[in-house]
Amino acid sequence: MTRLPRTARREDTGADEAPEAGAGAATEPSEGPAKAGTDGGAAAATDQDTTRASGTDEHGTADEDGATDEDGTTDEDGTTDEDEAMDEDGTADESRRRRPAGAWRKAAPVAAATVLLLGGAGFHHAAHQLRSAPSARNHALTDTGATTRVSGDVAEGLARVFSYTPADTDAAERSSRTVLAGRAARQYGDLLAQVRTNLVEQRITLSTQAVRTGVIELDGDSARLLVFLDQTSRRDRAAATTAAAQLTVTAEYRGDRWLIVDIKAR
């Protein structure tokens, strides 16, 4: 690390000195290894030239060996090298000592910003989780107005379509159009077609009343309810009998009221 700039520097100076040194030493070998022995060799050679002019001749002849010579010179160089290296180390140490402080000064805000960003993201995420949880989307009982509205509409609708007199089954069918939709409407149509003749022949009167209504789920325009019904039927002049019915009703808000779209017996 410390060597590289140094050899580069030396090379520069060596290149500058080359004509002089070349003239002083006047040796072809200095040219030889300098080219053959790479840049390091050149640097070493020029180094030698400048530091010990007297020994150059000897070395010059031994230069043919190349490798050993270079080793020797670098060893000798080593002492001066170390001194310089020490100097450089000294400055490097300072800068290293300074660098951690500088690094800290740079890293601390980055770390703080990262922690803050992560924390913020965590908070936002947790808040979103809370707000979008299934329990939060279900407005049954939390939105009292809508809960009462859907309960009332469904209870009243069921009472209307499941109450009829033999004289007026058409009325029930008519009201079913304003109360039922979708699958529930089809189911109801099939049911009424089946029982209509019986109703008229046996003079059956049915009246239905919702006794309990509970909203299970209420999410925007759709709702699911549990409804307990009491159905009193009277056959002509016989005594009335009352039966219990439990339904799970799916309702949808269309236009200005809740329509029953599906009915399941429980």
Partner 1 sequence: MRRAEALGTGALVLALGFCGTGAWTYAQARGDEELAFSRERDTALAEGRSRLTVLNTLDASTRERAEAGIRAWRDASTGPLRTELGRTRPTVGASARATVTEAALTALDARAGTAKLIATVRVDVTPRGAAAATTDRKRLEAVLTRTGENTWRVAALSAVPVAAAEKGGKTEKGEEGGDE
d(CA 199, CA 190): 14
Q: How far is the CB of 226 from partner 1 (least distance, A)?
A: 4
Q: Does 225 bind partner 1 (CB under 8 A)?
A: yes
Nearer to partner 1, 53 or 238 (CB): 238
Q: Does 112 bind partner 1 (CB under 8 A)?
A: yes
At residue 56's C-alpha, the angle toward residues 26 and 44, to 5°, is 100
Nearer to partner 1, 36 or 116 (CB): 116
DSSP sequence for 200-212: HHHTEEEEEEEEE
Quick one: which of 166, 169, 149, 183 has its CA closest to 237? Answer: 166
Q: How far is the CB of 94 from partner 1 (least distance, A)?
A: 19
Q: Is the Cα torsion angle 44, 49, 53, 58 positive or negative in sign?
A: positive
Q: Does 100 bind partner 1 (CB under 8 A)?
A: no
**Tokens, residue 142:** 């939390």
Q: Is the Cα torsion angle 79, 81, 87, 91 positive or negative in sign?
A: negative
Site string for partner 1, 169-208 (x = CB under 8 A): ----------------------------------------
At residue 193's C-alpha, the angle toward residues 170 and 159, to 5°, is 55
Q: How far is the CB of 130 from partner 1 (least distance, A)?
A: 4
What are the backbone dihedrals phi and psi of residue 253, each rounded to the nearest 5 degrees, phi first? -85, 115
Q: Does 237 bind partner 1 (CB under 8 A)?
A: no
Nearer to partner 1, 67 or 136 (CB): 136
Q: Does 102 bind partner 1 (CB under 8 A)?
A: no
Q: How far is the CB of 19 from partner 1 (least distance, A)?
A: 45
Residue with tokens 């329990």: 135
Q: Does 244 bind partner 1 (CB under 8 A)?
A: yes
Q: Does 36 bind partner 1 (CB under 8 A)?
A: no
Using the contact rule CB under 8 A, the part of the chain among 44-52, 129-137, 198-206, 254-262 near partner 1 is 129-137
Q: Are the C-beta atoms of residues 224 and 247 closer than 8 Å to each other?
A: no
**Tokens, residue 1:** 């690390």
Return the amino acid letter for 180: L
Which of positions 246-265 make contact with partner 1 (CB under 8 A)?
Answer: 246, 248
Give the one residue of 124, 177, 183, 254 binding partner 1; rule: CB under 8 A: 124
Return the amino acid letter for 175: S
Q: How many Cβ atoms sit within 10 Å of the Cβ of residue 35?
A: 10
Q: Does 42 bind partner 1 (CB under 8 A)?
A: no
Q: How far is the CB of 169 from partner 1 (least distance, A)?
A: 23
Note the residues at the interface with partner 1 (CB under 8 A). Answer: 109-110, 112-114, 116-117, 119-124, 126-127, 130-131, 133-136, 138, 140-142, 209, 211-216, 225-226, 228, 230, 232, 240-244, 246, 248, 266
